[in-house]
Structure 1
Amino acid sequence: MTPSDADYARAVELLRAGELVAFPTETVYGLGADAANPAAVAKIFAAKGRPADHPLIVHLAGHDAVDHWAEQVPDVAWELMETFWPGPLTLILKKQAWVPSTVTGGQDTVGLRVPGHPVALELLRRFAIAAGEHAGIAAPSANRFGRISPTKAAHVREELGDRISLILDGGPCTVGIESTIVDCSRGEPVVLRPGHIAPTHLEAVLGRCPAIVTASGAPRVSGSLAAHYAPQTPMRLIAASRLLDFLNAQRHKGDCCGVIGHSQPPQAGMPHLWRMLPADPVGYAHDLYAALRDMDHAGVSLIAVEALPEAPAWAAVADRLRRAVAGSGQP
C-alpha cells in the first residue's frame, strides 16, 4: 500500500503546522511530530500518556543530517551508519546544544535513525524539502505508552483514534519489533536495546561483540522500562516442557487461555485459543505484536507464551516478552 501525493502533501502540511502524523517504518508505526518544534513534540507525550523524561528517537532522511543534530560524532558511529542505514538501528550521540530537551528527555544525548521503509523515507524527504534539509521527525511507537506497539495502520487507529490528525498507511511493518539502540556517546559502543540488528551483525563492523547494557548509568532510551509492550490481559511465560500440563491445569480450573507457541502444536480437544508463530527469531518477531494484540481481544483470562530458546539470536524478542509480562494485566 502506497500513500498518494496528496497524502504526503497533507502529512507535511500537518507536521509543519505542529500536528501529529502516524507513519510506517520497517520496525513499527511511529507517531511523528516536527522534532525541532517543542510544542509539537509535547503533543506526542500527551497523546501517548508518555512520561516527559522518556526520550524520543529523531528520524532523518539521510545521514548527511546527523551533524545538524549531534556533535562529536565518533568514527565508529559513521561506520555503523554506512552499514545499517537506512535500517532498524538507532544511534545515541551527544546532542547539539539547540536540540529541544523535550526530544531528549532532558539528557545531553539524542537518538537518531534513518528508517528503512519507503513510505517513511519519502515522508522524511518531502518534509526536509519543506522544512529545511536537516529537518527530522521525532517518533516513538504510535500506541498508548507501555502498550503493544502497532505494526499495522489499523492498530494505530485502535490505539489513538482521533488523537492524531493523519495516518499514512504503508501496510504491515516488515520487521515487527523496535530498532536496535546502540550508545556511541560514551566511548566504546554498547547496545542499550536489542533488536533486529543483532550483536553478531554489529561485531562484523566493530570487530568485537558489543556489550548489552541496561544499567541505570546508561542514557535513558525508548523501550527500556521494565514494563512495556504489554497487553491488558495477564500474561505468563511457560517452559515448553511444562506448557501442556499448565494448560490442563487451567482447563480444570475452568479458565480459557490464549496460547502463543513456536514448537508445541495444539492437542486435539484442548479448549484453548492457540497461535503458532514461526520457530525462527526473525519470523517470530514479525508476528509477535499482532499475535499479542489478537489475544488481548479474544476474551481469554490469561495469555500463556511458550518460553523462547536461550540462543543469542532470540535476545530481542525475549527482551520484548519479558517487558510485556511485567506490564501485563493492567487496565
Structure 2
Amino acid sequence: MNELDHAIALLRQGELVAIPTETVYGLAADAANPDAVAKIFTLKGRPSDHPLIVHIAGAAQLDDWAVDIPADARRLADAFWPGPLTLILKRQPHVPDAVTGGQDTVGLRAPAHPLAHALLEQFGGGLAAPSANCFGHISPTTAQHVHDEFGDACPLVLDGGASPVGVESTIVSLVDDTPKLLRPGGIPREDIEAVLGHKLEHHQSNKTAKIRASGLLDSHYAPRTPLILGALPQLIEEAGRRLANGERVLLLHRTAIDAPITGIAQQRLAEDAPHFARELYALLRHHDRQHDILLMEAPPQSPEWLAVNDRLKRAATRHIL
C-alpha cells in the first residue's frame, strides 16, 4: 500500500492525516464524520465553536456542501481554484455542526498542492483540515513542523515538501449582498476585487464580521517566545535595554544595518512580500525558545504586505510604533 492509499484508508476509518497544501500543512479528517472531526479539536486543543474549512477537489463539489450559491462565488472559484482562496457560503443541511461551529455557513476551498489534490480526488468527499498545529501556535509549513508539534499523536503525515505560499488562504464571505474579506492570505485582495468588479469590505475580527471564521482571533499564529514588532530604530533601542537586563535578544530586520550590534543576534529578512511570507512561519519556529525575546522590524503597510501584516499583528506580544 502506497502512502496515498494509506492516507485514504485512515481517513475512511475516521482517523487523522496531516496533509501538505500550498499554504500550510493541514490536520485532515473526513468532514462528513463528526467523530473524526472531533479528533481534530482534541489534538489541536481548538475551541469547539471555532469553524473548520472543508477542502474539496474543485468547484464541481460546491453544491455538495453549499446552498444558494451566488454567481460571485462561482466566478471566484473559476478564477482561483485550485488555490489559496476560501469561500464562506450557506451550508447544506447535512454538513455537521462540528465543521461549521454551529453556524449556518461553511468555508470551502480547493487546495492547489498536487498531493492534496490527488488525495481529495481519490477520497471523493470533503476533508476538514485546519492548520496542523496546536491552537494559536505558529502554523506548520513542512512535514517536520507537524512531527515536532504532535509527535506520534498524528497517525500519518504526508510529506509534500515546504509549502510554497507559506501563509493561510484568503477567506471571503459571500453569504449576503456584500462580499467581505475576512482574512487576507495567498490570493491578493486586489485580484479578487478585479474578478468581482467591486470592492470587498475588510473585517479583521469575528465581532465586526458577525461570523466566526478561522484566523480572526486577536492572538493567533504566535511563537512561545514573546515577539515585538516595530520600526528598526526603536527596536535597536529596545534590544539595548533587553541586553542590559541580561536577556538573549534576536533582532530580525529587513533594513540593512551598517555594523553588527555587539551582544545581539541578528538575521536579515526577505525584502519582498512573497519570499517573506514563504519563510515567516519556518523562521519563527526555528528561533522559538532559543532566545528570550524576538524583535522584528515591521513590514511596510502597502497592499502586497496585507496578509503578512495580518499574521504578525496577531502573533506579536507588543507593537512599538
Q: TM-score, normalised by structure 1?
A: 0.92
Query: Hey, what does 1:153 align to over in structure 2?
Result: 143
Question: Which whole-Å CA distance do the structure 2 matches of 1:301 and 1:41 have between them?
Answer: 36
Query: Structure 1 292/119 Cα, relative in aligned 2: closer, same or farther at 3 Å?
Result: same
Q: Does 1:263 align with 2:255?
A: yes
Asked whether the 8 Å contact 1:277–1:283 carries over to 2, the reply is no
Asked whether the 8 Å contact 1:32–1:140 carries over to 2, the reply is yes
Q: Which stretch shifts more, 316-325 or 250-259?
A: 250-259
Q: How does 1:275-290 map to 2 (within 5 A)?
A: 275-290=267-282
Deviations 1:31-82 (A, max 9, x none): 0000000000000000000000000000001110110100000000000000
Question: Which whole-Å CA distance do the structure 1 matches of 2:318 and 2:116 have between them?
Answer: 29
Asked whether the 8 Å contact 1:28–1:178 carries over to 2, the reply is yes
Asked whether the 8 Å contact 1:229–1:327 carries over to 2, the reply is no
Q: Structure 2 residue aligned with 1:176, among 158, 166, 169?
A: 166
Query: Hey, what does 1:324 align to over in structure 2?
Result: 315
What are structure 1's unaligned runs of at least 5 residues? 129-134
Q: CA RMSD in A?
A: 1.5
Query: Hey, what does 1:208 align to over in structure 2?
Result: 198
Question: Which whole-Å CA distance do the structure 2 matches of 1:275 and 1:186 have between them?
Answer: 45
Query: Hey, what does 2:27 align to over in structure 1?
Result: 31
Query: Hey, what does 1:245 align to over in structure 2?
Result: 237
Give aligned pairs, total: 317
Q: Does 1:274 align with 2:266?
A: yes
Asked whether the 8 Å contact 2:87–2:174 carries over to 1, the reply is yes
Deviation of 1:266 (Å): 7.1
Q: Structure 2 residue aligned with 1:302, among 283, 293, 301?
A: 293
Question: Which whole-Å CA distance do the structure 2 matches of 1:327 and 1:181 have between them?
Answer: 26
Q: Specify the code of the residue in structure 1 equivalent to 2:6.
A: R
Query: Hey, what does 1:144 align to over in structure 2?
Result: 134
Question: Which whole-Å CA distance do the structure 2 matches of 1:112 and 1:61 have between them?
Answer: 10
Q: Does 1:315 align with 2:306?
A: yes
Deviations 1:90-128 (A, max 9, x none): 000000001000000000000000001001001111111
Query: Hey, what does 2:98 align to over in structure 1?
Result: 102
Asked whether the 8 Å contact 1:34–1:138 carries over to 2, the reply is yes
Q: TM-score, normalised by structure 2?
A: 0.95
Percent sequence identity over aligned pairs: 50
In structure 1, the residue corresponding to 2:119 is in which secondary structure?
Answer: helix
Asked whether the 8 Å contact 1:91–1:112 carries over to 2, the reply is yes
Deviations 1:206-240 (A, max 9, x none): 11231211351431011111000011111111212
Deviation of 1:245 (Å): 2.3
Asked whether the 8 Å contact 1:196–1:282 carries over to 2, the reply is no
Deviation of 1:326 (Å): 4.2
Q: Specify the code of the residue in structure 2 equivalent to 1:91.
A: L
What are structure 2's unaligned runs of at least 5 residues? none
Q: Which stretch shifts more, 254-263 or 141-150?
A: 254-263
